[in-house]
A and B are shown apart, each in its own frame.
Chain A
Amino acid sequence: MEDFLYFFTFQDPSITWVVLGITLLGIGSAYVGTFSFLDKKALLGDAISHAVLPGICLGFILAGEKNPVYIVTGAFLSGALATFLSSWLRKNTKLSEDTIIATILSVFFGVGIVMLTGLQKSGNPEIAGLNSFIFGNAIGISESDLMIYGGLSLTIIMVLTLFLKEFRLMVFDPEYGKAIGFPMEAIRFLFNVLMILAVVIGIQAIGVVLMAALLITPGAAARFWTDRLHPLLILAASFSIVSGILGTYISFVIPQMPTGPWVVVFLSLIALLSFMFSPKSGIIFRYFSRKNYLRKTHKDHLMKALYKAREENKEGLSIEEIYELYPYQKVQINQSIKDLLKEGFIIKNQLFISLTSKGTSDAMRIVRLHRLWELYLNESMNIAPDHVHESAEQMEHLLTPELEAMLEKRLNFPTLDPHQETIPREKP
């Protein structure tokens, strides 16, 4: 708790810096990543982030210490080489895209690991810091590192904002872009540069192994919530910031704890929650709305049974009679009776159930919809009277008052359905 307050009240200026840095990094990578996710190039991000490792080692060797300028430059160059190689191979060989990407990823990462192991054996005391590039350590970032990573993030954000329209075109319809004279190849090139930069800025805080997750997951999670580009970008950036800060907090509280894995844990959690709860694709949402719907159909059926009893001049039905009407549905019937009692649609006298006046009018509406729909199918869609019941059983729960009015008008306020039963209406 103390740690929590200490961290989130930003008493420590170095924490403020780190949080600011991780925020910028989050926005930048989510921005770029969302575009590459939409462009179905998620794997490329993964390849690039693994491919920067040899560059990092090379930068370290040349500088002899953990100098951010050398390391960023090295990482950028080896990321660029990987990107260039992958597009060259795609153009000039018949290899499939995932083969190319998998090959590049493993070759570059393998070379990187070999170099890293070699460096560790060399006994240079500075080497300890280099390990953090694998899984990231946001807390270990110094102020001068932050200037570089933050500055690069800002550049990415600005360029993307400036070229939003062009990148939108690049993803949606690059051929059209070319047709209206936009330099689509240059735009694609610029995008690749931004993509490599986005990976490079994340290596210190998140690490090369998991950087791809920070690129792709925010956009993928946000896609569950919206169908528009701008909200998508904003949402993705927010997801990324939240997980970034939480991950940093964890590695602040627990010494030696890398940041990257925790950021990814939080991101995955957000993605999972989005998958479950977003109204568009959420399975939970769908589960509940289906359950509600089924509950409504059971209630409607009970009301209909009571109304039909009324039509046969019976006051109501005993529970036993209802059980007989719908065999094997005892649980649902009891639930419906409980619901309808609460809503004031029925009254229960010992074991005998009848409609209240409020219930009568609602039951009448359901029966009316059922019969109207049967008549509509029969008259307007030429479906035989003995085939219309099934569909009406479903539609009676769905038809809105608006559609009811249209049906009435269309059928000219009919009195009988195809089975010669009265279509009931309230007495004026």
Chain B
Amino acid sequence: MITQVENPVLEIHDLTVSYDQNPVLWNVDLSLPSGKLVGILGPNGAGKSTLIKSIMGLIPPTSGYVRIFDKPLNDVRARISYVPQRESVDWNFPASVLDVVMMGTYGKLGLFRRPGKKEKDLAMQCLEQVGMTGFLKRQISELSGGQQQRVFIARALAQQADLYLMDEPFAGVDMATETAIFQLLKEMADSGKTVLVVHHDIHSAMNFFDWVIMLNLHLVASGPKELVITEDLLRKTYGGKLNLLTKVTDLIRNKDFNPLKS
């Protein structure tokens, strides 16, 4: 069940991604319309983070390509914003909440230039949107997990992008805040931005997303929520082991070279 669209914001063409020579994403082929709040669902280890990272060009694909706004990634980086999984950084780094959110403005500033008053105001505004104004000066290691996550969301907002890629932004975030931030993302989508969110809660996925991508090593589904969230497809995504695919992966891992690499 894969719905392709005309003039996509994001086009992923036959993408295969491997770690070392161990493929974890197989032939993902999808396209997304603009102005939608898009959910990415799938079990642990399904390759959701890998998909996001390869869209951002952080992992080179084994084959296939990604085009964004009908251009190659490097031409449009300034228009894309990225929220990594919280565990990816060392929270003991000496920085305040404001320092981290200001990093969101670095992309537009470019090299050398330092953030000034304008950037600070923007950062403050984004902190307010995630309800973290009271923690402005707090050392980042002294935040709870959910609060750290909100700092990351604020940093992404400060990028003022057109396409947002968020890897589990709501992990550990309480319900009230999650709903408030979803509302915010929805407004952003309504104003024409596209927001991709890796998410684990199918219930709130039903409520908030317009479009859903289901992934489990290969693409199970991509399309409007009403068409995609069905019992059958959910079972295909979450149920059972993908026996064949896992066996093939093992086979390739044991080879001395990567047979998939062109």
Residues of A whose CB lies within 8 Å of any CB of B are: 38, 40, 162-166, 168-169, 171-173, 175-182, 223, 226-229, 232
Are B103 and A228 in touch, CB under 8 angstroms? Answer: no
Given pairs A38-B93, A165-B114, 13 additional interface contacts (CB within 8 A): A164-B114, A166-B111, A172-B95, A172-B100, A175-B88, A177-B106, A179-B58, A179-B80, A180-B159, A181-B107, A227-B96, A227-B139, A232-B94
Q: Given A163-B112, A181-B78, decide whether A227 and B94 contact each other with a Cβ distance below 8 A.
A: yes
Partner of B93, one of A164, A172, A176, A182: A172
Within 8 A of A (CB), among B165-189: none
Residue from A166, A182, A227 whose CB has the most chain B CB atoms within 10 Å: A227
Task: Looking at the assembled complex, report how far the CB atom of A29 sits from the nearest CB atom of chain B, in whole angstroms.
Answer: 19
Instruction: State in angstroms the CA–CA spacing of A179 and B88 once bound together.
Output: 13
Per-residue contact bits, chain B 48-65, to A (CB 8 Å; 1 contact, 0 not): 000001001110000000
Which 3 A/B pairs are nearest by Cβ-Cβ distance? A180-B107, A181-B77, A227-B139
Are A180 and B93 in touch, CB under 8 angstroms? Answer: no
The residue on A at minimum CB distance from B108 is: A180
Instruction: State in angstroms the CA–CA spacing of A92 and B106 once bound together.
Output: 32
Are A180 and B106 in touch, CB under 8 angstroms? Answer: yes
Are B89 and A179 in touch, CB under 8 angstroms? Answer: no
Residue from B74, B77, B94, B159 whose CB has the most chain A CB atoms within 10 Å: B94
* Residues of chain A with a CB closer than 8 A to B84's CB: 173, 175-176, 179
* Residues of chain B with a CB closer than 8 A to A169's CB: 103, 106
* Residues of chain B with a CB closer than 8 A to A177's CB: 106
Q: Given A163-B112, A171-B93, decide whether A182 and B56 contact each other with a Cβ distance below 8 A.
A: no
Partner of B88, one of A166, A173, A223, A228: A173
Are B58 and A178 in touch, CB under 8 angstroms? Answer: yes
Task: Looking at the assembled complex, report how far the CB atom of B115 sits from the nearest CB atom of chain A, in whole angstroms.
Answer: 7
Are A229 and B106 in touch, CB under 8 angstroms? Answer: no
Task: Looking at the assembled complex, report how far the CB atom of A180 sits from the nearest CB atom of chain B, in whole angstroms.
Answer: 4
* Residues of chain A with a CB closer than 8 A to B80's CB: 179
Instruction: State in angstroms the CA–CA spacing of A182 and B77 once bound together.
Output: 10
* Residues of chain B with a CB closer than 8 A to A171's CB: 93
Are B74 and A228 in touch, CB under 8 angstroms? Answer: no
In the complex, B90 has a CB within 8 A of chain A: yes
Q: How many B residues have CB within 8 A of the partner chain?
A: 30
Within 8 A of A (CB), among B89-141: 89-90, 93-96, 99-100, 103, 106-107, 109, 111-112, 114-115, 139, 141
Are A180 and B77 in touch, CB under 8 angstroms? Answer: yes
* Residues of chain B with a CB closer than 8 A to A176's CB: 82, 84, 89, 103
Instruction: State in angstroms the CA–CA spacing of A181 and B111 once bound together.
Output: 10
Q: Given A172-B89, A172-B90, A175-B84, decide whether A228 and B107 contact each other with a Cβ distance below 8 A.
A: no
Are B94 and A179 in touch, CB under 8 angstroms? Answer: no
Are A229 and B94 in touch, CB under 8 angstroms? Answer: yes
* Residues of chain B with a CB closer than 8 A to A228's CB: 94-96, 99
Instruction: State in angstroms the CA–CA spacing of A232 and B89 once bound together.
Output: 20
* Residues of chain B with a CB closer than 8 A to A180's CB: 77-78, 82, 106-107, 159
Residue from A164, A180, A182, A229 whose CB has the most chain B CB atoms within 10 Å: A180
Task: Looking at the assembled complex, report how far the CB atom of B241 sits from the nearest CB atom of chain A, in whole angstroms.
Answer: 28
Q: Given A173-B103, A180-B159, A227-B139, decide whether A38 and B78 contact each other with a Cβ distance below 8 A.
A: no
* Residues of chain B with a CB closer than 8 A to A164's CB: 114
* Residues of chain A with a CB closer than 8 A to B77's CB: 179-181
Are A229 and B74 in touch, CB under 8 angstroms? Answer: no
Are B95 and A175 in touch, CB under 8 angstroms? Answer: no
Residue from A163, A169, A171, A176 whose CB has the most chain B CB atoms within 10 Å: A176
Instruction: State in angstroms the CA–CA spacing of A273 and B175 once bound together.
Output: 46
The residue on B at minimum CB distance from A164 is: B114
* Residues of chain A with a CB closer than 8 A to B88's CB: 173, 175
Within 8 A of A (CB), among B152-168: 159
The residue on A at minimum CB distance from B89 is: A173
* Residues of chain A with a CB closer than 8 A to B82's CB: 176, 179-180
Instruction: State in angstroms the CA–CA spacing of A164 and B103 once bound together.
Output: 12
Instruction: State in angstroms the CA–CA spacing of A229 and B159 once bound together.
Output: 22
Are A38 and B103 in touch, CB under 8 angstroms? Answer: no
* Residues of chain A with a CB closer than 8 A to B89's CB: 172-173, 176
Instruction: State in angstroms the CA–CA spacing of A102 and B53 once bound together.
Output: 33
Instruction: State in angstroms the CA–CA spacing of A198 and B177 once bound together.
Output: 47
* Residues of chain A with a CB closer than 8 A to B57's CB: 178-179
Instruction: State in angstroms the CA–CA spacing of A40 and B90 once bound together.
Output: 10
